[in-house]
């Protein structure tokens, strides 16, 4: 299998996309962002004893199994998405399977490393919003219709973002 992989890269068969000289960004409030916070949540033994939390915050957490958040996120999606900016300033969405990470690397580590990635384009996205709430709304196909009228600048911005198409690339192999 590795020889076939190397052959596909060497012969530039176009199936496998190499990415280098890149920066990875974790989108705030994305599934990857929340997954990177799981180790901190695992430190909390009893949410009721966290002194800096308000009573309202404690009530919001009542009934949640916060120690199972990582497993829940992992079961929601097999991949965690990052924004990838290449040296030519083009942007892509790259997806990592957390179970494929080795050497005790975490999702957060990926944003700090000088990586070379190999992946396969699996689709395109018309928006770069990787926020968890947005992902759930999109998955449920909820469209929020606004009753407000749009001005010229809003329409211009909307048209600009509607023409955006980011490739979605599932990462097969990453290394330094």
Collapsed DSSP state (helix, strand, coil) of residue 54: coil
User: Please, what is the average pLDDT of the chain?
Assistant: 81
**Where residue 149 falls among pLDDT bands split at 50, 70, 90?**
low
Distances in Å between the alpha carbon of 90 and those of 19, 21, 61, 161?
A: 11, 12, 40, 15
- Residue 137 pLDDT > 80, yes or no? yes
Rg of the chain (C-alpha set): 20
Mean pLDDT value of segment 99-126: 87
Mean pLDDT value of segment 100-113: 84
Apex CA 164: angle with CA 131 and CA 76, to 5°?
30
Residues above pLDDT 90, as percent of the chain: 20
The pLDDT of residue 37: 86
The pLDDT of residue 163: 62
- Residue 146 pLDDT > 60, yes or no? no
**Where residue 85 falls among pLDDT bands split at 50, 70, 90?**
very high
Could you tell me the residue ranges of all domains in the chain?
Answer: 14-35+70-175
Report which of 174, 165, 20 is spatially closest to residue 95, judged by C-alpha positions. Answer: 174
Report the alpha-carbon distance of residue 146 to residue 158 in Å, rounded.
13
Buried b or exposed e, range 35-60, using 16+ CB within 10 angstroms: bbebeeeeeeeeeeeeeeeeeeeeee
Report the alpha-carbon distance of residue 24 to residue 109 in Å, rounded.
10
**Where residue 175 falls among pLDDT bands split at 50, 70, 90?**
confident
Q: pLDDT, tens digit, for every residue of 7-57?
A: 767 776 678 888 989 999 999 999 999 888 888 877 877 777 777 888 887
> What is the pTM (predicted TM-score) of this model?
0.73
* The two three-digit tokens of residue 121, written as one number: 């384009």
DSSP for 107-161, written as a single string: HHHHTTS--EEEEEEEEEES----BHHHHHHHHTT--PPP-SPP-HHHHHHHHHH
Report the alpha-carbon distance of residue 168 to residue 90 in Å, rounded.
13
């Amino acid at each position: 299998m590795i020889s076939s992989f190397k052959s596909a890269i060497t012969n530039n068969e176009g199936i496998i996309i190499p990415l280098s000289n890149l920066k990875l960004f974790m989108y705030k409030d994305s599934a990857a962002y929340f997954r990177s916070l799981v180790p901190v949540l695992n430190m909390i033994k009893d949410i009721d004893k966290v002194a800096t939390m308000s009573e309202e915050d404690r009530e919001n957490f009542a009934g949640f199994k916060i120690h199972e958040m990582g497993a829940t996120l992992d079961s929601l999606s097999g991949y965690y998405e990052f924004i990838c900016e290449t040296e030519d300033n083009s942007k892509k969405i790259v997806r990592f399977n957390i179970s494929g990470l080795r050497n005790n690397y975490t999702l957060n580590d990926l944003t700090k490393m000088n990586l070379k990635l190999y992946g396969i384009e699996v689709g395109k996205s018309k928006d770069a919003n990787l926020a968890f709430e947005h992902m759930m709304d999109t998955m449920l196909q909820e469209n929020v219709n606004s009753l407000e009228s749009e001005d010229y600048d809003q329409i211009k911005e909307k048209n600009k973002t509607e023409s955006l198409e980011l490739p979605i690339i599932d990462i097969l192999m990453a290394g330094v």
